[in-house]
Structure 1
């Protein structure tokens, strides 16, 4: 009997890693460019304010990428690799239950896909380290000279995640009912609902209630090293 072809879709921040990659990387990037922490605090507060003000998360996502306007994309990508090389050594860097799930999917021959509002600078080294096959993420735009414009094409959040996952399922030629998705936040609900096997990570109240009602499995969000199980 031939093996059923499946895909497993993973949110990243606070799902596979315990941190918010975008905030950690922004702090590193600004510090490397002379910030004493003042600009980072101002920018981070402004980004958090978009949430407390009830604005769509896509608004904050677009605002985030304006921090890189004029920066050479190659430099940002290199800085992302340096950030992750340090981050992965932290004692509680990874959500070990979810990383273990990813590794089981890899062992089973499933296509592993990362889906995140973060961007290539942060996600490429994570994908390589964890052995992901595909990354669906926000796409900051570049000018002809190779610098970021500060604009982003599609913030990979909410409905955009759902659409990207649905398209990937079609492109991969797999059945949605056979696929898995892992997410930690209520904004991942559409992505989780697009597959036959949704899995909640952590204790988000909205997702927790839905998981209780629908019988979805819930993984703990405890952090550890990659070799912790």
Structure 2
């Protein structure tokens, strides 16, 4: 933890940084199978096949994010929220290794030191809110599906991925002029987290992504020179 009395913030990616699963897709599988059984499993596999094909074809992650949320068109916000609460209750208790413990301990240490904790994710509020309560996060910066009359439209506001993460974190930092970004921390595991990691004085790579580590080191060197 930093040896400073100045206020600071900690920004943390979620999937494969704080938890071991990809929350969007794990929840999609959970709710489809719970509601529709075998038909839900088959629908999930069809969605994932298209998702994998898009990724292999180099479709931007932001567009894949939009594709994911199109599958919630006309879904009740309350129904999805209730299912997400059940998903989190089951997964966080019954799934061995649900949390990446090193990150969870680090975030708890920052909280104990008085830092504000902000989760930053391409996932969406129903999935992230129970997690935020569990780890004591003060805010969530995430992709927000458009809602009309209590139902999802299938569209989203700006996906909080890559440059979307940068913009979201920059906006949050702008709302806290008492905080110096150089005192802040950010945790991420993927190259798409790099724009967020570049904004703080203490970026932390979770996992063994060699390219992410190399790119971050290169950026730090260019800043110093």
Q: Is the 8 A contact 1:50 1:59 kept in 2?
A: no
CA distance in 2, matches of 1:157, 1:194: 15
CA distance in 2, matches of 1:60, 1:21: 15
Structure 1 partner of 2:191: 186
Structure 2 partner of 1:172: 176
Q: Is the 8 A contact 1:68 1:149 kept in 2?
A: yes
Which consecutive unaligned segments of at least 5 residues does structure 2 have? none
Structure 2 partner of 1:114: 119
Q: Is the 8 A contact 1:15 1:95 kept in 2?
A: yes
State the 1:28 CA deviation. Answer: 1.3
Structure 1 partner of 2:80: 76
- Relative to structure 1, the CA distance from residue 18 to residue 118 in structure 2 (aligned partners, 3 Å threshold; closer, same or farther) is same
Q: Are positions 1:64 and 2:55 aligned together?
A: no
Paired residue for 2:135, among 130, 133, 152? 130
Paired residue for 1:27, among 29, 37, 43? 29
Q: Are positions 1:157 and 2:172 aligned together?
A: no
Q: Is the 8 A contact 2:121 2:160 kept in 1?
A: yes
**TM-score normalised over the length of structure 1:** 0.89
State the 1:48 CA deviation. Answer: 2.2
CA distance in 2, matches of 1:56, 1:35: 31
**TM-score normalised over the length of structure 2:** 0.91
Q: C-alpha deviations, 1:146-182, integer Å up to 9, x for none? A: 0100000111100010011111111022111111100
Q: Is the 8 A contact 1:50 1:57 kept in 2?
A: no
CA distance in 1, matches of 2:182, 2:14: 22
Structure 1 partner of 2:19: 17
Counting helix residues as a fraction of each chain, which structure ranks higher?
A: 2
CA distance in 2, matches of 1:184, 1:211: 11
Q: Are positions 1:98 and 2:103 aligned together?
A: yes
**Count of residue correspondences:** 214
CA distance in 1, matches of 2:53, 2:175: 37
State the 1:208 CA deviation. Answer: 2.4
Q: C-alpha deviations, 1:63-115, integer Å up to 9, x for none? A: 00011111100110111110000111122111111111100110011010000
Q: Indicate the RMSD between aligned Cα atoms, in angstroms.
A: 1.6
State the 1:212 CA deviation. Answer: 5.1
CA distance in 2, matches of 1:50, 1:92: 29
Give the match's secondary structure for 2:118. strand
Q: C-alpha deviations, 1:31-87, integer Å up to 9, x for none? A: 233151111001012122221111110110000001111110011011111000011
Runs of 4 or more above 4 Å deviation: 211-216
Structure 2 partner of 1:197: 202
Structure 2 partner of 1:224: none
